[in-house]
Chains A and B, each alone.
Chain A
Amino acid sequence: KAGVTQTPRYLIKTRGQQVTLSCSPISGHRSVSWYQQTPGQGLQFLFEYFSETQRNKGNFPGRFSGRQFSNSRSEMNVSTLELGDSALYLCASSPQGLYELDEQFFGPGTRLTVL
């Protein structure tokens, strides 16, 4: 079974631009979560989707948004990029996610650099 895939793997943008990151979960997994990883802040939860519905979100500004499609694939978008948005963005999927007690399966991440 293929793992979680994320595209692109690396991205360089300039301040003020917007970016869209994509995540394909493991086949059959319906829950997709997004995290931002930085050296200073560690792993910060962005949001979680299940069956196209956002069930939880972290403390990020409205510039960060996401969505999930009917095939469980997910995208996240960051508008008006700031230097501080430079980070590794990780996507994770889990089988059911109903109570989120399942372990999560992580993709390799997208490394975003904002210049």
Chain B
Amino acid sequence: GNSVTQMEGPVTLSEEAFLTINCTYTATGYPSLFWYVQYPGEGLQLLLKATKADDKGSNKGFEATYRKETTSFHLEKGSVQVSDSAVYFCALSDRGFKTIFGAGTRLFVKA
């Protein structure tokens, strides 16, 4: 079945460091891919999305490119801030009326 695998956390970075969170997926067909973020005590919110191969999603300085050849959707940010501390979820939607989430990666950013 379809699945999402993302790097285990926690990831601890200093402010202004470069961030990469790896995500790979297994899916039949042509899923849409998403990154969601969850701040403490809140539900998830969409960070960015890509709906077809080679699409780049971007938002708030975060980027991810839909790579069909490597079945990956890695999340990157050039310079993280303390306010980026949260849990990040990679997800795919496979037209089966459900979204499949990765295990989540907790990010800590130190001032």
Contact = CB atoms under 8 A, between A and B. Distances in A.
Given A45-B100, A101-B32, A101-B51, A90 B95 contact: no
A87 B56 CA distance: 34
Contact of B98 (A56, A102, A106): A56
A42 B89 CA distance: 10
Contacts, number: 60
B34 A56 contact: no
B87 to A, nearest CB: 10
B43 A109 contact: yes
Contacts of A48: 97-98
A4 B43 CA distance: 10
B43 A107 contact: yes
Interface string B84-111: 0000010001111111111110000000
A69 B100 CA distance: 25
20 contacts: A4-B43, A35-B101, A42-B101, A42-B103, A43-B104, A48-B97, A55-B97, A58-B98, A92-B44, A92-B99, A97-B97, A100-B93, A100-B95, A100-B98, A100-B99, A101-B51, A101-B95, A103-B34, A107-B43, A109-B43
B96 to A, nearest CB: 6
A34 B66 CA distance: 26
Contact of A101 (B44, B93, B102, B104): B93
Interface of B: 32, 34, 36, 41-46, 49, 51, 89, 93-104
Nearest to A97: B97
Contacts of A100: 93-99
A106 B43 contact: yes
Contacts of B104: 42-43
A33 interface: yes
